[in-house]
């Protein structure tokens, strides 16, 4: 593969920024439209930076975090575009996944969006979403998806979330949704708890058919599915009365989320091992959690 791909990289990183802007505006709109008590939440936005071992620029991004809102207890929407050379451990990890030529030329470029929302009301589901593009001189691929993490499950909410994702994937082929759903069920499983993290969604990684435009369009549609899949659930559940017992259930369930992200999540491991801003990498962790 040539050293080019600059146009594709630019299109991908621009799309992640556009999706970020749409989600931030939508979530602040949920705060504005809520009639409950409390201070209206707003995102605090800060730039993140990354430097190479020799001190040279290695990319960065935007970290957008809302804390203590009326609807969202904590939500982060991060974008980043990073580049440089992978260290020995990351090279070996890439080679083990079948990426060729890493030892000879360990350069990389990666861009993406990552979102995690933890809610005030225990009846409103937490959610995770990310999409990303990764490039090396010898390979490129896309990854990501979204999954729902309610602590108090509603079958109709799960059905809506999955149906919306299916509707966005079906134009790419009827086999995409069942394949990506099964992938999510496998990926978001917590082996040491013998249970799923939530009620699933869609997920893919190392996705490359060889047709960049087609794969990019699929990745965009995964991102476009997120707001219509999730926002109606928040609007439905944010007014539901809740008890101390409901909050206890939420805090214990958040412990599962923290365990998964710290032990198994590939994105967390990559971000920390490549020197990205630790606060941005770990923004997915809930503000409060409980273990019993």
C-alpha distance from residue 122 to each of 153, 244, 247, 249 (Å): 10, 10, 6, 8
Residues belonging to the chain:
292
User: How far is 219 from 207, CA to CA, in rounded Å?
Assistant: 10
CB-CB contact of 98 with 86 (8 Å): no
Is residue 47 within 8 A of residue 251, CB to CB? The reply is: no
Terminal Cα distance for the chain, rounded: 52
Q: Following DSSP, what letter does each residue of 168-182 receive, concatenated?
A: HHGGG-TTHHHHHHH
Residue 128 falls in the annotated catalytic set:
yes
User: Given 128, 176, 253, 276, which residue is catalytic?
Assistant: 128
Instruction: Return d(Cα 159, Cα 8) in angstroms, integer.
Output: 35
Catalytic residues: 128
């Amino acid at each position: 593969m040539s050293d080019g791909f600059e146009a594709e990289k630019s299109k991908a990183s621009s799309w992640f920024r556009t999706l970020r802007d749409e989600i931030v505006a939508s979530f602040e709109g949920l705060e504005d439209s809520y009639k409950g008590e409390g201070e209206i939440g707003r995102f605090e936005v800060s730039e993140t930076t990354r430097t190479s071992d020799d001190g040279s620029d290695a990319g960065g991004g935007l970290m957008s975090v809302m804390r203590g809102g009326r609807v969202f207890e904590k939500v982060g929407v991060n974008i980043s575009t990073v580049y440089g050379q992978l260290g020995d451990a990351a090279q070996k990890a890439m080679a083990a996944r079948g990426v060729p030529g890493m030892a000879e030329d360990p350069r990389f470029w990666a861009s993406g969006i990552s979102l995690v929302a933890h809610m005030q009301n225990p009846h409103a589901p937490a959610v995770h979403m990310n999409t990303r593009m990764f490039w090396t001189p010898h390979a490129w691929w896309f990854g990501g998806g979204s999954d729902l993490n309610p602590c108090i499950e509603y079958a109709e909410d799960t059905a809506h979330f999955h149906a919306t994702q299916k509707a966005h994937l079906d134009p790419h082929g009827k086999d995409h949704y069942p394949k990506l759903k099964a992938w999510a069920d496998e990926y978001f499983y917590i082996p040491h708890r013998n249970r799923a993290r939530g009620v699933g969604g869609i997920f893919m990684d190392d996705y490359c058919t060889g047709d960049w435009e087609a794969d990019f369009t699929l990745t965009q549609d995964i991102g476009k599915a997120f707001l219509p899949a999730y926002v109606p659930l928040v609007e439905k559940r944010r007014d539901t009365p809740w008890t101390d017992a409901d909050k206890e259930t939420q805090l214990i369930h958040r412990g599962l989320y923290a365990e998964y992200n710290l032990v198994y999540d590939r994105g967390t491991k990559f971000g920390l091992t490549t020197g990205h801003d630790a606060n941005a990498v770990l923004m997915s962790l809930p503000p409060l959690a409980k273990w019993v």
